[in-house]
């Protein structure tokens, strides 16, 4: 499912940055280091172009793909014995109900103040894609970050390599426009490599724990309350590292690098550690 898109300055900035990094990498860094007509130059240009295209494609999908909205007719079935998880409000113990959307919220869903709707398995609202990162587009957002890190690190390596290759000849042929391109690229790539790598590491951690950013912060508070009461808090959706990975990326490792999402389900219910516990007890 796709959504309409209005003008967004952050999205425009991202598109311009991607275009600038691509053209400076291929037509300046690779060309001046290897020469575009040489075999190493063509190989590096082809590989970087593939990575850049995958980055652009996944970014486009993450911008346009609907993150997954809670149906207005959704009603939790508290008598369903197969669904042991029903999230309740912190105060009062009632089932979670969104006053703004006028419907109940399933587990892991949250209301986005920017989008003004409840989002299934909401992670956060990202201004850089002008969209929520939620149930339906989390995988493609993650893949975009992976390809973005690869592209930025690759470009930075080519930038450094083209500067260190034959420095005497480089000094003679380098004009003011090239110097400006190198300075701008460096100012873009170094912070991007750091920021995107941190973001990638954070989401790898979340995926391996089967948590969203919101659930991580809620879990910190829940852990503190549990320890205060002499109990041990356990995240109910943590199924083990590999199972958690397949929940997001899919059961087939060959599809992990692509935005296929046929495995994600409706987003109204998720497997929990209790499902495995009950299945194990029944088999004994």
Q: State the virtual CA torsion across 29, 35, 38, 41 in degrees, nearest 10.
A: 0
E strand or H helix at 215: helix 213-228
Q: Per the structure block, which two tokens stand in for 266?
A: 């409706």
Query: Is 45 within 8 Å of 100 (Cβ atoms)?
Result: no
CA atoms within 13 A on the CB side of 106: 21
Q: Per the structure block, which two tokens stand in for 279?
A: 């299945």
* Angle, vertex CA 245, rays to CA 220 and CA 122, nearest 5: 50
Which one, of 205, 126, 162, lies nearest residue 28 by Cα? 162
Distance CA 214, CA 248 (A): 16
**Does residue 128 sit in helix, strand or coil?**
coil
Q: Which residues are catalytic?
A: 126
Distance CA 191, CA 58 (A): 21
Q: Per the structure block, which two tokens stand in for 85?
A: 């998880």
Distance CA 199, CA 145 (A): 8
Which one, of 159, 137, 174, lies nearest residue 62 by Cα? 137
């Amino acid at each position: 499912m796709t959504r309409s898109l209005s003008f967004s300055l952050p999205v425009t900035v991202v598109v311009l940055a991607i275009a600038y990094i691509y053209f400076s990498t291929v037509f300046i860094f690779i060309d001046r280091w290897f020469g575009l007509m040489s075999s190493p130059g063509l190989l590096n240009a082809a590989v970087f172009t593939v990575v850049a295209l995958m980055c652009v494609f996944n970014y486009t999908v993450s911008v346009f793909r609907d993150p997954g909205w809670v149906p207005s007719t959704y009603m939790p079935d508290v008598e369903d014995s197969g669904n042991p998880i029903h999230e309740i409000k912190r105060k009062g113990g009632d089932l979670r109900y969104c006053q703004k959307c006028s419907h109940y919220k399933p587990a892991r869903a949250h209301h986005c103040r920017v989008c003004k709707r409840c989002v299934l398995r909401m992670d956060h609202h990202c201004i850089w894609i002008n969209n929520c990162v939620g149930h339906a587009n989390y995988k493609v957002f993650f893949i975009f970050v992976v390809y973005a890190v690869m592209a930025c690190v690759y470009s930075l390596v080519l930038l450094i390599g083209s500067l260190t290759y034959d420095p005497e000849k480089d000094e003679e042929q380098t004009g003011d426009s090239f110097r400006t391109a190198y300075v701008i690229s460096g100012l873009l790539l170094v912070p991007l490599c750091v920021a995107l790598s941190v973001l990638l590491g954070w989401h790898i951690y979340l995926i391996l724990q089967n948590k969203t950013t919101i659930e991580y912060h809620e879990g910190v508070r829940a852990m503190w309350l549990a320890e205060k009461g002499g109990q041990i808090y356990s995240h109910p959706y943590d199924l083990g590292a590999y199972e958690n990975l397949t929940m997001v990326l899919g059961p087939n490792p060959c599809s992990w690098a692509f935005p296929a999402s046929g495995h994600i389900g409706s987003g109204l219910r998720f497997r929990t550690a209790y499902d495995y516990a009950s299945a194990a007890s029944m088999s004994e």
